[in-house]
């Protein structure tokens, strides 16, 4: 029975696909039939769930959500497929391209005080190898485990961000790396960045002892203020969290990279 | 020949769908097969284009794009299907729900000075009937034509926004309607709002003669400053354009409603 059905199926497939030029009016279903089946993304999700999780992701990206601890359970497969498939990379490229167009459109001052701020995690370096072992944001963040990953210093570079970094460096922007990582990760972070191709910067700012306990918005706003107090103009800011970008002493223009895995307030 | 193929197809379909409980291992393709075919959304787009236009839309919603005049030509079908289908409404509901949770979580002052700001177009009132006749953002915006639509005063309410309006009104927030429409549209706008169920407000602020030519960010920042100078605290702000929300005198929390049809700087 199974063989018969298999044979009939193959027969049908060959007829459907091989006889496009015959005298056929066989449009019971929209054509082409199987070619449009979304094979690469979200293949096991209902339309309803796909819509729901996309809506949640857009709400994350447009800063509409309050603090959240983990991704919605029902969106676990969605986030995994988004991060592992081409869509995440596509989104990163879209933002990188826009930021490069912006950077190139500007006329820099002669004083060398035009600065571009970059966040590190999920901005220049990808922790996807770590998060793929931890449910892509479905597990509650474990600081100790994540720290062990950070000190390994093997996070791969995010290529569209590397491209922007190279562009703004060559244009003459001062590079300010501003990360929520703590000061004791300086060596691991610097080594990781250099190995990943981010090999020069003007400042690498991490959380010192006195910054512990501050929100990311407060910490990063303070550090941006210190940068501008030194006379720099923050022309661009590039980060995956809204807390990298908002607050005070904000950049002339900020770019939000996609990250549906975690939220830092 | 066509009849034979038709018969074989029906035969196959009935076998595939009616014999789930038989001794079958027939998983050549992921199951269920046709049920998951995305019938309602984006059915004529390739995966590549779907990814590209979704990426563009997310970039719009996360404020990553510079000024744009019309939607990308290749995304015309995408935007039409998004706006006409369930996804747009789903997204509006997601934001409305989040805003209502936020509003209800707050303890209002006793002085009656807690305010909630609403934009009008694509926030409280929908111009979808107009834009559906004008390519959903594919045509360059025509001020005179749009004005004729506005004075008709028949724009339908956006239901999830009405729900939020009712919620924040009943909680005791002062309602501030802040729109880029010009002062000569006051009567048409007020009548339209009342007929749509938005029947009370504390201020309806439109562009006066002296506001003409100002960017939306500048105009709305100034008007928010006037509101806060009167002693009000702007607790929430609800709009479909980033220019409704950013600038100075911003709300404690802002909510960005989806709008991939047009951009107001």
Spell out the domain ranges in chain A: 1-37, 52-256
The verdict on a CB contact (< 8 Å) between B28 and A5 is no
Q: Looking at residue A45, what is its pLDDT?
A: 86
For the segment B218-228, the average pLDDT, to the nearest whole number, is: 98
For the segment B71-79, the average pLDDT, to the nearest whole number, is: 97
pLDDT at residue A10 greater than cutoff 50: no
For the segment A79-107, the average pLDDT, to the nearest whole number, is: 97
pLDDT cut 90: percent of chain A above it: 82
Q: Looking at residue A15, what is its pLDDT?
A: 36
Q: Looking at residue A44, what is its pLDDT?
A: 74
Cα-only R_g, chain A? 23
A148–chain B nearest CA distance, Å: 32
pLDDT category at A14 given cuts 50, 70, 90 is very low
Q: Looking at residue A238, what is its pLDDT?
A: 98
The verdict on a CB contact (< 8 Å) between A55 and B94 is yes
| Contacts for A116 with CB less than 8 Å, ≥ 6 apart | A103, A168, A173, A174, A175, A176, A234, A235, A236, A237, A238
The verdict on a CB contact (< 8 Å) between A12 and B5 is yes
According to DSSP, the residues that pair with A204 across neighbouring strands are: A177
Question: Hey, how many other C-beta atoms are within 10 angstroms of the C-beta on A237?
Answer: 26
Residue whose entry in the numeric block shows the structure tokens 């050549």: B28
Residue whose entry in the numeric block shows the structure tokens 């929100």: A215
Strands (E), chain A: 114-118, 174-182, 203-207, 233-239, 253-256
pLDDT cut 90: percent of chain B above it: 82
For the segment A7-34, the average pLDDT, to the nearest whole number, is: 38
Q: Looking at residue A19, what is its pLDDT?
A: 34
- Nearest CA among B252, B256, B261 for reference residue B106: B252
Largest CA distance in chain A: 80
B256–chain A nearest CA distance, Å: 7
Sign of CA dihedral B207, B213, B218, B222: negative
pLDDT digits (tens, 9 = 90+) for A189-246: 999 999 999 999 999 999 999 999 999 999 999 999 999 999 999 999 999 999 999 9
Q: Looking at residue B45, what is its pLDDT?
A: 86
Q: Looking at residue A5, what is its pLDDT?
A: 55
pLDDT at residue B57 greater than cutoff 90: yes
Provide the residue count of chain A. 265
Average of per-residue pLDDT values in chain A:
88
pLDDT at residue B52 greater than cutoff 60: yes
pLDDT digits (tens, 9 = 90+) for A58-72: 999 999 999 999 999
User: For the domain B47-256, what is the CATH superfamily, name and number?
Assistant: HAD superfamily/HAD-like (3.40.50.1000)
Residue B234 phi, psi (nearest 5)? -85, 100
Q: Looking at residue A51, what is its pLDDT?
A: 95
- Nearest CA among A207, A236, A210 for reference residue A147: A207
pLDDT category at B44 given cuts 50, 70, 90 is confident
Mutation pick from B47, B89, B246 vs chain A, by most beta carbons of A within 10 Å, is B47
pLDDT digits (tens, 9 = 90+) for B82-127: 999 999 999 999 999 999 999 999 999 999 999 999 999 999 999 9
Cα-only R_g, chain B? 23
| Contacts for A190 with CB less than 8 Å, ≥ 6 apart | A204
A256–chain B nearest CA distance, Å: 7
DSSP track, A27-87: -SS-SSSSTTS--SSSTTS-HHHHHHHHHHHHHHHTT-S---SS--GGGHHHHHHHHHSHH
* A61: nearest CB among B1, B40, B62: B62
Indicate the SS3 state at residue A143: helix
For the segment A35-40, the average pLDDT, to the nearest whole number, is: 40
Question: CB contacts < 8 Å between A and B, how many?
Answer: 138
Q: What is the dotted CATH code of the domain comprising A52-256? A: 3.40.50.1000
Average of per-residue pLDDT values in chain B:
88
pLDDT category at B12 given cuts 50, 70, 90 is very low
């Amino acid at each position: 029975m199974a063989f018969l059905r298999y044979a009939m199926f193959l027969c049908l497939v060959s007829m459907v696909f091989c006889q496009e030029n015959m005298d056929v009016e066989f449009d019971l279903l929209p054509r082409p039939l199987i070619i449009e089946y979304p094979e690469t993304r979200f293949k096991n999700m209902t339309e309803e769930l796909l819509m729901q999780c996309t809506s949640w992701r857009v709400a994350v990206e447009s800063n509409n959500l309050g603090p959240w601890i983990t991704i919605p359970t029902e969106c676990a497969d969605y986030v995994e497929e988004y991060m592992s498939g081409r869509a995440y990379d596509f989104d990163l490229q879209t933002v990188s391209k826009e930021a490069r167009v912006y950077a190139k459109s500007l006329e820099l001052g002669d004083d060398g005080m035009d600065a571009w701020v970059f966040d590190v995690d999920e901005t220049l370096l990808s922790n996807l190898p770590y998060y793929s072992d931890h449910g892509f944001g479905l597990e509650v963040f474990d600081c100790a485990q994540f720290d062990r990953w950070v000190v390994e210093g093997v996070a791969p570079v995010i290529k569209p961000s590397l491209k922007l970094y190279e562009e703004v460096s060559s244009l003459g922007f001062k590079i300010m790396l501003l990360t929520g990582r703590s000061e004791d990760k300086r060596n691991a972070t610097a080594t990781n960045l250099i190995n990943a191709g981010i090999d020069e910067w003007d400042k690498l700012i991490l959380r010192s002892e006195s910054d512990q306990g501050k929100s990311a918005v407060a910490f990063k706003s303070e550090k941006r203020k210190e940068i501008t107090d030194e006379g720099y103009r923050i022309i661009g800011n590039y980060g995956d969290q809204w807390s990298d970008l908002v607050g005070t002493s904000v950049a002339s223009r900020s770019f939000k990279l996609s990250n549906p895995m975690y939220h830092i307030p």
